[in-house]
Amino acid sequence: MFYSEIYFIALQIILHYTVASKAVDKRSVDLSASHALISDVRLSTEVVPTGYEIHLHPIMEKDSFTGTIKINISWSQAIKKISLHAHYDLNLNEKTLTLLKLNKDSAEEVIPILRGDRMLRKTIYIIYLKSTVQECSQCVLKIDFEGNIWQSTEGLFKGSYMDDISNEEKHYLATSMSPNNARRLFPCFDEPGFKVPFTVSIARPKAYTTLFNTPLLRTESLNSSPESSYVVDYFETTPPMSTFTFGFVISQLNKFKPDQGQLIDSELQLEINLWARQGVLAEIKEIYAKLNEIYPLLIDYFNVSLPLKKIDILAIPELGSLRPADCWGLLMFKERDLLSKPSYYFLTHELAYQWLGSWITPDWWNASHINSALVGFLCATVTLKLDNDQEYKAKYPMTLLYSLYYESSKRYPHSRITGLKQEMASQKNEMILRMLNYTLSESTFQAGIRKFVADYQYKAYVSNDLWDAITKQAILDGMLTSEYSVAEIATSWIVKDRLPVITVDTESDKNNLKISQKLYLRERPHDVPEQHLMLWWIPIVMISQDNLNFSLTKPKIWMKEQREILVPNSLAENQFIIVNPQEIGPFPVNYDRKNWNLLLSFLLTEEGRSRIPTYTRAKLLHDAWNLAYAGDLTFATALNITLFMKYERNPIVWTPFFIMIDHIGRHIQMSDVHKKFDMYVQAILTPLYEELRNADSNTWQSELKSIAHRSLSHAGYQPCVDEARQAYKLWMDSANPDMDIILPNNYICVIFKWGTIEEWEFGLERVITFPKNRTRSERTFLLKTLAGCPVQPDKIIRLLNITILEGNGNFTDNDILLIFNMLSGGSVGYETLYNFLYENWSEVRRKFENKTNLWDSLITEATGLFKTSKGYEQVKTLYNQHRGEFGSATHIIESSLKNIKEEVKWSDENLPVINVWLDNFLSNNNRTTEENFL
């Protein structure tokens, strides 16, 4: 558990400045990665819509609605039927169904309708006509319909909340059309590629307000009766838009009135209005100010304003799962999301979809990850400007790159989870766009995006439309020659769920630089099928020691899906080179030993650390240990690169170090080198920790100090452990310890790891006697640390005895599953679990006979994590002794044996190297002493 916890905290440093961070906030709104999973039947294009006229009458007290729609239709081919979307929940009145043909020189012509049928198991409604309608005909289809208002956020739904001023329950209606729920509200051509104007009127109770995509035009009494409790709002006709961007809200929210007038686009008089409960209007002022900064920057980037008169932004209490920017001109947020001091990125991300998504729309959902990536990249670009390159850069792009590197380098990426695969595809595409922005130049890339936006206003696009716009601009600006195609470059990355690694050889040829590429794999065995066929277009951006100008990002050469290239006249005597600085492209880089050593020598100097930028220092460190982990670089070189960290103070560079000690630490826990490794961690971290001991709270120094403290504590640094024990004693001595935990959580794992059995038993007692009126998550945390933190087998055996053999009623099956999971975090845990199973086989097997989930989890955690020959023999012995008795877990232990063989190879190759390096390091390091090590 210890190193995994360190890894998690390390990532928090990067996420610290962004409340709604990209790694978690991939709210791709109308075009999220999940939409790529839609397997809808596409409508034919013989008949297409050219406009909608819709009247809706929601009846709030009955949770239902009625409506009438007139669809202007154009025939592109002669055909005698109309296919459109209508959900099963939507009732169409076939008796009033009419089709009128519009004739230029004569009266409207009624076209007889034979019948209407629903397509089996599809939300498609087919209207069969008596005669064929000719090509180029223009018709109006009129349909009356009715349906239900739902509680779930699909179609038209109803919500409620308690008003904190009147203490009354308030209700509201809202829509969620994305991705294909417009068909739940009205019959339509419910595909993103059909973009037409909407003319809409909506009935509402008099005491409510209706907000729609466009401004209110006028309000009339329903049925022209002043006594009616309902009125009808008529709205301005929308610009051409897709059905999924249609939306409205009927509520009693209040409009925020800023001190200095509305936010206005001076060219088109666009207003941005904020709506919320009366009681929280005062909290919106900061959000309004941020929007006032964001909107002009987006206009500047796109070089065009939105063709809207207003954007309404709503903070809706108790709103369910809903993507905020699904509607054009109408953004619906959960109140707590909007009011919890959202970051610039969060607001920019949702606002940018008004341009890319609503105004300019992918033709179908399979292009959604390209759109999502483009929005993500542009939002990062704008946010960096808003934060003056200080705060947001602490997160971007490293969190995306790290997760991308780890997932793509697995034998089975994404664990075959389709949703995760789509999410990672969007992240990778964002990094591809970032690479193009660097290699083609920021000005060329932006000009290409502006041209793309200008050409596809009110239209739908396919991915190649975007790539073509960037290609033409790059050729025009001389950044690419006519033989190059951005589509070809980008496609070489998009079609693979993998990434390359390049190797730079500076030694074998004194006149030329040899560069080769191959598939990047960390997990063993490296047996991915057809990996020799995988090649990418890779930009070779190079920085040499005699010209450390990191603003030069144009590639010296492109690898055009070539296995190996030679770059002539690229080397200087005893001078290092850096390829792919600043993580320009999403790929790691390996060098020969000479170049790595030259880089290390430079980084160990103050001049070197000041002249090599932050991202590049982080990249060198991250690449080195990942390559060593994968078997492409010796661990002696990777550990050498960490030596400059004794002088490093930037949290961005520290993050890969903490990730490194997590991954390596878990691999070596069962070996004799583990204690030496902890001493190494102490030696590297102690100078940082001591320097930051008095850091102010709420600063990045404070965050860095916190993780350094935690890492040192888990490595056994005596001053940190003593501090934790003093705090823990106050809790043990308290009059009523069950009422509250009176010490920071980060101390508890330290005590359960290094403390006495009495201190550990005190924690166990707190779990057993945990009061029912306290938050259960506190008990869960205590149980996780009780199981995952100890390095003494007797503590773990005590916990397993009381929960499994004794069957203590205070522990549920879920508690036992949690214990098994936590024991897998360290070698002491899973080895002790194995010994417990081995010694108590019959009793444990009997207890779990009818609990397959517990049994399978036990076998997984007790046998699947060994990494040495000794561990392999242990698991093999258990398998042989109880062959035929594993039941549902037979395949689990057989898989464990196969995986352990690969881990044994890793250990046999790398542990001796790590051991020798640590011996040399510790003998030469005066800061590390046995007195400070437990």
Residue with tokens 């009935």: 203
Indicate if 358 and 466 belong to the same structural domain. yes
Report the amino acid identity of residue 553: T
**What pLDDT is recorded for position 931?**
41
Decide if 146 is inside a domain: yes
| pLDDT tens-place string over residues 79-119 | 999 999 999 999 999 999 999 999 887 778 999 999 999 99
Q: Token match 């400045």: residue?
A: 17
Is 909 part of a structural domain of the chain?
Answer: yes
Q: What's the pLDDT at 38?
A: 56
| Residue that terminates a domain, selected from 227, 252, 277 | 252
Question: H helices of 353-485, where?
Answer: 368-386, 398-408, 418-439, 442-455, 463-476
Binding site, annotated residues for Zn(2+): 349
- In this structure, the answer to whether residues 61 and 152 fall within a common structural domain is yes
Residue 662's pLDDT is 82
Structural domain count of the chain? 4
For residue 606, give the CATH number of its domain.
2.60.40.1910
CA quadruple 8, 11, 12, 15: dihedral sign: negative
- Bridge pairing between strands 512-519 and 564-568: antiparallel
747 lies in some domain = no
Q: Are 50 and 34 members of one domain? A: no
Indicate if 507 belongs to the active site.
Answer: no
Q: What is the pLDDT of residue 2?
A: 42
| Strand arrangement of the beta sheet that strand 564-568 belongs to | 564-568, 512-519, 500-505, 589-591
Q: What is the pLDDT of residue 332?
A: 94
Same domain (yes/no): 73, 215: yes
Of 5, 191, 335, 350, the active-site residue reads 350
Which residues of the chain are modeled with pLDDT < 50?
1-37, 389, 927-934
Residue type for position 298: L
Structural domain boundaries, residue 193: 45-252
Kindly state whether residue 130 falls inside one of the protein's structural domains. yes
Q: Phi and psi for 177 in degrees, rounded to 5?
A: -90, -20
> Is the domain of 426 the same as that of 449?
yes
Q: Which residue has the tokens 């993500």?
A: 376
- Tell me, yes or no, whether 19 lies in a domain: yes
User: What is the Rg, in whole angstroms, of the alpha carbon atoms belonging to the chain?
Assistant: 32
Q: Which of 451, 479, 497 is the last residue of a domain?
A: 497
Which helix (H) or strand (E) segment is 54 a member of? strand 47-59
Say yes or no: 823 and 862 in one domain.
yes
Question: CA-CA distance, 362 to 369, in Å (whole number)?
Answer: 10
Instruction: Say if residue 482 is in the same domain as residue 506.
Output: no
Residue 928, pLDDT score:
42
In this structure, are 605 and 516 located in the same domain?
Answer: yes
Q: Is the domain of 35 the same as that of 62?
A: no
SS3 assignment, position 831: helix
Q: Copy the structure tokens of residue 37.
A: 């999973």
- Cis peptide leading into residue 179 (ω within 30°): yes
The pLDDT assigned to 525 comes to: 81
Mark which of 474, 497, 520 sits at the end of a domain. Answer: 497
Whether 839 maps to a domain, the answer reads yes
| Annotated binding residues | 349
Residue with tokens 């160990």: 604
Tokens 């008099």 sit on residue: 206
| Residue 473 belongs to domain with CATH number | 1.10.390.10
Give the predicted TM-score (pTM) of the model. 0.87
Cβ atoms of residues 465 and 486 within 8 Å: no
Task: For residues 538 and 469, state if they share a domain.
Answer: no
Q: What is the pLDDT, as a whole number, of residue 692?
A: 86
Q: Are residues 862 and 926 in the same domain?
A: yes
Do residues 141 and 226 share a domain? yes
Considering the domain boundaries, does residue 727 fall inside one? Answer: no
Q: What CATH number does residue 169 fall under?
A: 2.60.40.1730
Q: What was the pLDDT predicted at 388?
A: 59
pLDDT given for residue 330 in this prediction: 96
Residue 762 lies in a domain: no
- Specify the pLDDT at position 32: 41
Report CA-CA distances (Å) from 420 to 69, 379, 426, 427. 39, 22, 10, 11
